[in-house]
Amino acid sequence: MKLTAIGIISLLVIALVACQSEDQLEFNRYYTSGKVLYQSKCQNCHGDNGEGLSALIPPLTDAGYLKTNKKQLACIVKYGLNAPITINKKAYYNKMPLTDMAPVEIAEVLTYVNNSFGNKMGVITTNMVEEDLKGCK
């Protein structure tokens, strides 16, 4: 009886691992590198949990904002931001400095941000970032 249970469980585990598709692997790769980048390039301002800092620095927890501005996010990370915005129904108007990150790094850090702090928006690939960067104002 015990043996059958163990057998079934190990089968399930094997199935799960096998099911980790190419997509999942790609996501994990972006996400893991993105986490390290977030810690070194964004966390000082946006906080350990994306909570921001009072009314000075906005949180990264407004899924609505992130979705609506999905195509702008790469531009924000690359060129910074200095415009009035509304995040979680609160007004912010400050200056985020530009970064010197490569498209692949931007893709990684955005995959991390967009799938942490309660956000769940899937992978952002280097190709998507390169495409979005063409549209920066």
Partner 1 sequence: MKKLLGGAILLLFYSACNSSGNKQTLPIYGERNPVTKTINGQTVTDTVYHTIPPFKFINQYGDSITNKSLQNDIYVADFFFTSCPSICPVMHRNMLNVYNQFKGDNDVKIVSYSIDPKHDSVNVLKDYATKLGVTGNSWYFLQGKKEDTYKLSESYLVTKPQEDAKQMFIHDGYFILVDKQQRIRGTYNGTDPKEVDQLIADIKTLKAEPNQQNAK
User: Which residues contribute to the site for ligand HEC (CB under 6 A)?
Assistant: 41-42, 44-46, 57-60, 62, 65-66, 73, 76-77, 81-83, 85, 87, 92-97, 99, 109, 113
Residue 77 contact, options ligand HEC, partner 1, none, Cβ 5-8 Å cut-off depending on partner type: ligand HEC
Based on its alpha-carbon atoms, the radius of gyration of the chain, rounded to whole angstroms, reads: 18
84 binds partner 1 (CB under 8 A): no
- Tokens in use for 65? 């904002």
Residue 54 contact, options partner 1, ligand HEC, none, Cβ 5-8 Å cut-off depending on partner type: partner 1
- Interface residue with partner 1, options 6, 55, 102, 136 (CB under 8 A): 55
- What's the rounded Cα separation, in Å, for the pair 82 and 97? 8
- What minimum distance in Å lies between the beta carbon of 126 and ligand HEC? 15
CB within 8 Å of 71: residues ≥ 6 apart? 132, 135
Q: Which of 93, 7, 21, 8 is nearest to 55 (CA)?
A: 93
Quote the distance between the C-alpha of residue 50 and its chain's center. Answer: 11
- Interface residue with partner 1, options 11, 53, 102, 136 (CB under 8 A): 53
Contact 88, 61 (CB under 8 A): yes
Q: Where does this chain bind partner 1 (CB under 8 A)? A: 44-45, 47, 53-57, 94-95, 97
